[in-house]
Amino acid sequence: MLSHLGIELTELGGDYLVGTMPVDERTSQPAGLLHGGASVVLAESLGSIAANLCIDPTSRVAVGQEISASHLRPLRRGTVTGVARPVHLGRNSQVWEIRITDHRQRLVCISRLTVAVVATGHGGGAQIVTPDHD
Cα-based torsion angle of the residue sequence 36, 40, 42, 48 in order, rounded to the nearest 10 degrees:
180
Determine the topology of domain 2-119 in CATH.
Thiol Ester Dehydrase; Chain A (3.10.129)
Beta strand spans in the chain (E): 8-12, 17-23, 60-71, 78-89, 93-101, 107-119
pLDDT, tens only, 13-63: 999 999 999 999 999 999 999 999 999 999 999 999 999 999 999 999 999
Q: Determine the pLDDT at residue 59.
A: 95
Does the structure show a pLDDT above 80 at 78? yes
In the predicted model, what is the mean pLDDT of the chain?
92
* pLDDT band at residue 125 under the 50/70/90 scheme: low
Q: Determine the pLDDT at residue 116.
A: 97
Does the structure show a pLDDT above 90 at 97? yes
Q: Which residues pair with 86 in a beta bridge?
A: 96
Rounded Cα distance between 33 and 55, Å, is 36
Q: Which residues are catalytic?
A: 44
* pLDDT band at residue 121 under the 50/70/90 scheme: confident
**Considering the entire predicted model, what is its pTM?**
0.89
